């Protein structure tokens, strides 16, 4: 049975294992085609495993109030890594994508308490079935209760990540913009979609960033 709870520091390794298994690079090494990847869903920016010098997932778990995991029989079968832009700015370890995200949404004028959904994934086995919807629902309710005006995520449109787009749309996100980003697995440009869902306190004057 799927249960959702706040992530704790000890979940970092399990979260990394789910992210590693869902990374585009790993799945391509397994021989999947672009079409298979699109239907299955993938992560482009899985973090490196935690180390004493760079506690990647652990730091984000500890400093974020919106990081969730799904468990099945006490085993982590999915995670939903989200944080406000203020929390993201407070992390001690930023990668290139973090810096670009902060720069892009600062230029947008996005409020610091908007919740940015950076990664979400579940195990490929049936043990994780239903985990994504449950985690998204929990995060959305918690974000609204905390006073966040909106939740935002970015999903690859080219190469297409159809599974993640479908999950986002099913859970209340709508695409509001696109932009050009680099694909870390190829070094080539790709197209990223910005998806947003407004919560009860959204300001009606806020506008999405212009498309590139």
pLDDT at 203 over 70: no
Determine the pLDDT at residue 200. Answer: 67
Domains located in the chain, CATH noted: 2-153 (3.40.630.30)
* Tens digits of residue pLDDT in 75-85: 999 999 999 99
Radius of gyration of the chain (CA): 16
The average confidence (pLDDT) of the chain is 91
Do 22 and 46 contact (CB within 8 A), yes or no? yes
Residue 189, pLDDT score: 84
pLDDT at 188: 78
> What's the pLDDT at 52?
85
* The predicted structure's pLDDT at residue 206: 44
Q: How confident is the model at residue 209 (pLDDT cuts 50, 70, 90)?
A: very low
Measured CA to CA, the distance from residue 106 to residue 12 in angstroms comes to 28
Using one digit for the tens of pLDDT, what is the confidence trace for 92-123? 999 988 999 999 999 999 999 999 999 999 99
Residue with tokens 């995200």: 101
Judged by DSSP in three states, 132 sits in helix
Average of per-residue pLDDT across 67-76 = 97
Dihedral sign computed on CA atoms, order 8, 86, 198, 192: negative
> Is residue 20 pLDDT above 90, yes or no?
yes
Inform me whether the pLDDT recorded for 191 exceeds 90. Answer: yes
pTM for this predicted structure: 0.91
15 SS3 class: helix
Q: Could you please report the per-residue DSSP string of 44-58? A: S-PPPPP-SS--HHH
pLDDT in tens, 21-52: 999 989 999 999 989 999 999 998 899 999 98
| Residue with more model confidence, 185 or 120 | 120
Give yes or no for residue 163 having a pLDDT over 70. yes
The pLDDT value recorded for residue 21 is 94
Query: Which of 81-90, 140-149, 194-203 has the weakest average pLDDT?
Result: 194-203
Sign of the Cα torsion 57, 59, 52, 8 reads: negative
Half-sphere exposure of 50 (CA within 13 A, CB side): 18
% of the chain with per-residue pLDDT over 90: 83
């Amino acid at each position: 049975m799927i249960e959702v709870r706040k992530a704790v520091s000890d979940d970092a390794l399990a979260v990394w294992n789910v992210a590693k298994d869902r990374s585009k690079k790993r799945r391509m090494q397994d021989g999947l085609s672009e079409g298979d990847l699109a239907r299955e869903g993938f992560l482009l920016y899985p973090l490196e495993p935690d180390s004493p010098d760079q506690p990647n997932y652990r730091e984000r778990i500890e400093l974020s109030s919106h990081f969730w995991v799904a468990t099945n029989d006490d085993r982590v079968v999915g995670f939903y890594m989200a944080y406000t832009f203020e929390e993201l700015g407070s992390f001690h370890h930023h990668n290139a994508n973090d810096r670009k995200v902060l720069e892009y949404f600062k230029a947008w004028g996005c409020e610091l308490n908007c919740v940015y959904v950076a990664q979400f994934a579940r195990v490929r086995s049936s043990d994780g079935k239903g985990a994504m919807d449950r985690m998204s629902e929990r995060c959305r309710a918690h974000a609204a209760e905390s006073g966040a005006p909106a939740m935002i995520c970015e999903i690859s449109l080219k190469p297409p990540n159809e599974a993640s787009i479908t999950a986002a749309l099913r859970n209340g996100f709508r695409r509001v913009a696109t932009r050009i980003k680099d694909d870390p697995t190829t070094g080539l440009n790709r197209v990223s979609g910005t998806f947003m869902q407004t919560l009860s306190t959204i300001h009606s004057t806020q506008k999405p960033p212009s498309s590139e």
